[in-house]
Structure 1
């Protein structure tokens, strides 16, 4: 693992700068103490990073849970009661891992996963553009379409120029220029530019810009447009930022409902992010999903015990890690230590970073997730791929992450059912023989009740005086519902002067009087022809 240190250290710095505003923003959007987001980020990096089997996945507080957390804190009667639900949610996740529930993530179509990545990329871009220009009405960690301020994603964009902060905009463009210059030109000039990452330089320049322009009325940036890390004035005040669960409330049934909700949503979001990061990983590592659930469960138990928000694996941080060259879990763990050290030793310095600089970093991350070329690539793959893809993207942009994925999955299932309907059989029309149409119908390998409509339609449309060769030699599984259709058709065929030749591995039968008797089926059973 230490062989990749030269790649992991620079990547961890980038992930740190991406994670810092997100941890604070998600805490703010969740109605929780700001420090709770940092706790979750630190534990997600150090503890979950160490326990996880993922080499490049990064965990921390998730924007997808912000609405659940905000509601739960109110209904459960305070943050300390909510922390009990976080601990119990972690225990339930451990149970999910023991029960091998990690396989669920593999049942999501590739087109939906790609749509998720692209949708998140678009959301990042749309949500960070206002911050880039100094309009900071919404926390950085919010990703739902309807914002807490009453605006939506697009109305916030239209209001930018009524709330423009010149200093934020100028330093944002400077930071964006540094990032593009670094990644497209300087990184090819020598190892120095590979070790010292562009985001670090952009942040340093941003701090210098803020300090130099404080006395300039035009370019000065107010504190409300800077990072806002809690600054303790003593060890006691630092320790006072931690909250602890009120286990006396554990008998409240609402706490158990919230705990199960957190466990279910956090596990699903984690498994989807695992699938997505594995697809992004240039080394094509495969993450053990059950181990990931165990790691997330342990992280949530610890986070809840010391006052942190719920934790999931997060695609924004994970993709930033991949894009920055992270190779092993060291980059994840180091980013957690950077968060821990910085909030203890240099919180005042962190509070001099303009939010627009961090927005510039996230804009690059978002663009790499949602490159325009990907849309054309998915379109060329055909409608079975691009329809679920575009539905997922639109769902994520106009609702939220889990709703968008659910819509994409629903469309993917419809596509599967439609193709199953279409591929249940092949119909071959041959030359007339003895005054009859000779038609061959060959059934697919597996034929289920999904195929009833297609087969029934074809059988009913056969003209009178037809010679039908019904070939099931390749069929391995035949549902009883299909056999029942064939049984009814054999009865009607006599009236329409249709002769049936049944071809199977068991032999050839002319005009079988009963398909059920031929297959020797018991009522309502299915047949394996393998």
Structure 2
């Protein structure tokens, strides 16, 4: 493991700089104590990093769970919520034992993208009061249309309650983050080592120190509140423990299952993405990853932390920084632990408005306008489940959104799939000459993703594959993405692809997406 320390140590520093403000910010977005976000970051790095089979993935508190945590804490209370986190971890381990690592393939990408987009919108709305430092407490249950208090009432009240200092440093922080990611990071390698979120946090601390006693002063109630221990006993006293007397509560079990399902989906999506980004194209064992994430959530819940998933922001920073092994994830967790012990007073100088600025960027990346445009362009069969999932998550709750989005996706799929029971047929496999012919059926849907992926991955090296789509009238966008990924992997495995369609023959198509989008017969896209 220590063979590549010269690569993993610098990468761990970068990941630490990214993770520290996000651990605090996501905890704030979830209405959890900031210390709980740091606990999750430490466990995600050290424990999950040690158990995981991923060499590039980094785990910690994730924005995708913020909406669930927010609602659960408000309805259950924090100690009961921790029971749900522990139970959610147990359910994830059961998922891993039962080999549910392929579960992500059975959720249409339109619903998953809708889930992440809805969460992004909630994060942005929730952080608006923090961004402007309004005087009244912006915490509490996230309600859009409550009679006594709701998020829109908070937003409307901003002009009369605005905190000038908080707003100024939040705007500065947003400017730093945009300048860093869009300009400076391309100028010099130092701007990749020192990350924009960390610079924004440092700027916020400096602003707070020098604004004391002025008109731009930021009240203590609008700063991070991490307990400051003065001894080992007081440090241990910071941890919150679950109240297992509520373990028989139906609401606790529903929350636990929701955490397990969403955390598993987000982790599996991240695994798929990071495996693609990995320069060495290593494959993460998904069932082992579910076991690792479940173990992390059990420990996190037992000592007061919020839920954990593998996180694409930290993982991509890890990969871009040139890590080689999972030691970088483990070391970053150690750095987080050291920061909790050594610099809690410094952490308590961070304005909440700066973390709100960081989370605005996180929320925007989850809910980019480009995502809406792409789903609209993909056709109504992609857009309807997507937008339904988004709206129901924002205006009701996440579990309802996923459930109804999935139901709509299933209805659309059944509508197009009832004509065919067979979606893939292999004709005459001859191992000696390496030629294999596969014929896709008339209707190919997202239900067929796992089997198609398994068939393609099982092809030996140096294969000559004939892929016949002449009779295919409907090809789900999810399957096209699998073919797109396979075209890239085929080059690495010296697999030649011959695509046979009603328009003729194409040798080694560069882009399946472009080919099928322009193909008149597949008008569903």
Whether TM-score is above 0.5 comes out as yes
Contact 2:45 2:58 in 1 (8 A): no
**C-alpha offsets along residues 87-143 of structure 1, whole Å, 9 cap, x if unaligned?**
55544433332122333222100111222222222222222232211137334xx88
2-structure distance, mates of 1:275, 1:71: 28
SS in 2 for 1:203: helix
Match of 1:45 in 2: 45
Contact 2:86 2:299 in 1 (8 A): yes
SS in 1 for 2:61: strand
> Are 1:303 and 2:300 matched, yes or no?
yes
SS in 2 for 1:231: coil
- Cα deviation for residue 52 of structure 1 reads 2.4
Match of 1:178 in 2: 176
Match of 1:100 in 2: 99
- Cα deviation for residue 240 of structure 1 reads 1.9
Match of 1:119 in 2: 118
**C-alpha offsets along residues 164-190 of structure 1, whole Å, 9 cap, x if unaligned?**
100011111111111222222222221
Match of 2:522 in 1: none
SS in 2 for 1:254: coil
Contact 2:120 2:365 in 1 (8 A): yes
Pairs aligned (count)? 412
**C-alpha offsets along residues 285-334 of structure 1, whole Å, 9 cap, x if unaligned?**
754332122112322332344x32452316xx533553684666556434
Aligned counterparts, 1:369-384, within 5 A: 369-384=366-381
Contact 2:420 2:443 in 1 (8 A): no
- Structure 2 unaligned regions, length at least 5: 423-440, 445-470, 472-525
Aligned counterparts, 1:107-186, within 5 A: 107-135=106-134, 137-139=137-139, 144-146=142-144, 151-186=149-184
Q: Alpha carbons of 1:88 and 1:192: their partners in 2 closer, same or farther (altered >3 Å)?
A: closer
- Which one of the candidate residues 222, 225, 242 is aligned to 2:222? 225
Match of 1:398 in 2: 395
Contact 1:203 1:358 in 2 (8 A): yes
Q: Alpha carbons of 1:278 and 1:155: their partners in 2 closer, same or farther (altered >3 Å)?
A: farther
Match of 1:467 in 2: none
Q: Alpha carbons of 1:278 and 1:65: their partners in 2 closer, same or farther (altered >3 Å)?
A: same
Match of 2:259 in 1: 266
Q: Alpha carbons of 1:198 and 1:45: their partners in 2 closer, same or farther (altered >3 Å)?
A: same
Moved more, 83-92 or 56-65: 83-92
2-structure distance, mates of 1:202, 1:175: 5
- Cα deviation for residue 222 of structure 1 reads 0.5
Moved more, 35-44 or 178-187: 35-44
Give the superposed CA RMSD. 3.5
Contact 2:89 2:296 in 1 (8 A): yes
Q: Alpha carbons of 1:106 and 1:271: their partners in 2 closer, same or farther (altered >3 Å)?
A: farther
Moved more, 49-58 or 201-210: 49-58
Q: Which has the larger radius of gyration?
A: 1
1-structure distance, mates of 2:148, 2:52: 38
SS in 1 for 2:226: coil
Aligned counterparts, 1:441-520, within 5 A: none
Q: Alpha carbons of 1:275 and 1:389: their partners in 2 closer, same or farther (altered >3 Å)?
A: farther
> Are 1:407 and 2:404 matched, yes or no?
yes
2-structure distance, mates of 1:236, 1:266: 32
Match of 1:15 in 2: 19
Q: Alpha carbons of 1:186 and 1:67: their partners in 2 closer, same or farther (altered >3 Å)?
A: closer
1-structure distance, mates of 2:217, 2:188: 35
- Which one of the candidate residues 200, 203, 215 is aligned to 2:201? 203
2-structure distance, mates of 1:60, 1:45: 10
Match of 1:497 in 2: none
2-structure distance, mates of 1:198, 1:83: 32
Contact 1:34 1:230 in 2 (8 A): no
TM-score normalised to the size of structure 2?
0.69
> Are 1:254 and 2:248 matched, yes or no?
yes
2-structure distance, mates of 1:88, 1:356: 33
Contact 1:14 1:321 in 2 (8 A): no
1-structure distance, mates of 2:9, 2:399: 35
- Structure 1 unaligned regions, length at least 5: 426-443, 448-473, 475-530
> Are 1:283 and 2:277 matched, yes or no?
yes
2-structure distance, mates of 1:273, 1:367: 17
Moved more, 330-339 or 386-395: 330-339
Match of 2:447 in 1: none
Contact 2:417 2:443 in 1 (8 A): no
Contact 1:134 1:356 in 2 (8 A): yes
1-structure distance, mates of 2:153, 2:322: 39
- Which one of the candidate residues 67, 72, 95 is aligned to 2:71? 67
Q: Alpha carbons of 1:377 and 1:246: their partners in 2 closer, same or farther (altered >3 Å)?
A: closer
TM-score normalised to the size of structure 1?
0.68
2-structure distance, mates of 1:143, 1:45: 29
SS in 1 for 2:350: coil
Contact 2:118 2:393 in 1 (8 A): yes
Contact 1:116 1:405 in 2 (8 A): yes
SS in 2 for 1:123: helix
- Cα deviation for residue 273 of structure 1 reads 0.3
